[in-house]
Amino acid sequence: MEFRTGYIAIVGRPNVGKSTLLNHLIGQKISITSRKAQTTRHRIVGIRTDADAQYVFVDTPGFQMQHQNVLNRVMNRTVTQSLSDVDVALFVIESMRFDARDEKVLALLPRNQPVVLVINKTDKVSDKSTLLPFIEKVSASFPFAAIIPVSAKRDSQLTELVQEIRRHMQEGEPIYGEDEITDRSERFLAAEIVREKVFRLLGDEIPYSISVEIEKFETEGGMRRVYAAIIVDRDSQKPILIGKKGEKLKEIGTQSRKDMEELFGLKVYLELWVKVKSGWADDERAVKSLGYE
């Protein structure tokens, strides 16, 4: 069997499970997840290498219809750029939910490339007989190459999805080494892990406009030393992140360190603090300085 390789964009509105899908497809957590919508802000590349194919997945931010600040305009540009250069696009929607927000993303999809409709979170559908009419309704909206219902969280139907993707890829040599899982640096991944913990532990208490800046990232023998600042918009947000007697910040740090150690495969020393940068999400220079292109 010939070896195939290709780029696959994962697109959809916020909070349909794109990052969870990416993590489960490559078998390693590299893209952050939380119940808070719009968690992914960057173009994340995840690499899966099998015996007969190499899949280079591009997880994109959820396309933003609201909050039109500089940060969100940059994120939307990332989505459209990612779509222009792939072999296959996976359009991810949530089971039994298809509305104007999904239709706006659908309008961006290429007509000259295969688009696979991925209906995620099927485990949440109690009456499975309702799925078929839902699939028929959505399939009438676009000439999809295939439609695959999955539960990314439970690894359900992911093998079928990977087989379908392979059908649309070209014959070719691998682009990355077989042990590589992402093109992102450890420094970048460390910042993303901290950001995920902030969203997971604080939920709605903290606004969407927080970021994480790695001020120092050092390798010392078999250890990584990470010094990171959590960037907030207003002074009033600082005590929320720090918590009573520093407990909340300590918990964010502990959980982040454990995830980093698991991902990097070695010991991590992590130091965290909170910094205020007023209005950073609407300041082009600040957005660029924090790594958003």
Q: Is 14 annotated as a binding residue?
A: yes
For residue 49, which of 166, 185, 189, 188 has the smallest C-alpha distance? Answer: 166
Q: What's the token pair of residue 52?
A: 């007969």
Distance from C-alpha of 148 to C-alpha of 292, rounded to nearest angstrom: 32
Q: Is 275 annotated as a binding residue?
A: no
Q: Is 76 annotated as a binding residue?
A: no
Q: Is 69 annotated as a binding residue?
A: no
Q: What's the token pair of residue 127?
A: 């009456």
For residue 292, which of 43, 18, 47 has the smallest C-alpha distance? Answer: 43
Q: Is 19 annotated as a binding residue?
A: yes
Q: Is 61 annotated as a binding residue?
A: yes
Q: Is 122 annotated as a binding residue?
A: yes
Q: Is 6 annotated as a binding residue?
A: no
Q: Is 59 annotated as a binding residue?
A: yes
Q: Is 18 annotated as a binding residue?
A: yes
List, in order, residues 6 or more apart from 133 with CB less than 8 Å away: none
Distance from C-alpha of 170 to C-alpha of 167, rounded to nearest angstrom: 8
Residues in the chain: 293
Q: Is 244 annotated as a binding residue?
A: no
Q: Is 120 annotated as a binding residue?
A: yes
Q: Are 241 and 286 in contact (CB under 8 A)?
A: no
Q: Is 95 annotated as a binding residue?
A: no
For residue 135, which of 90, 195, 93, 176 has the smallest C-alpha distance? Answer: 93
Annotated binding-site members: 12-19, 59-63, 120-123
Annotated binding-site members for GTP: 12-19, 59-63, 120-123
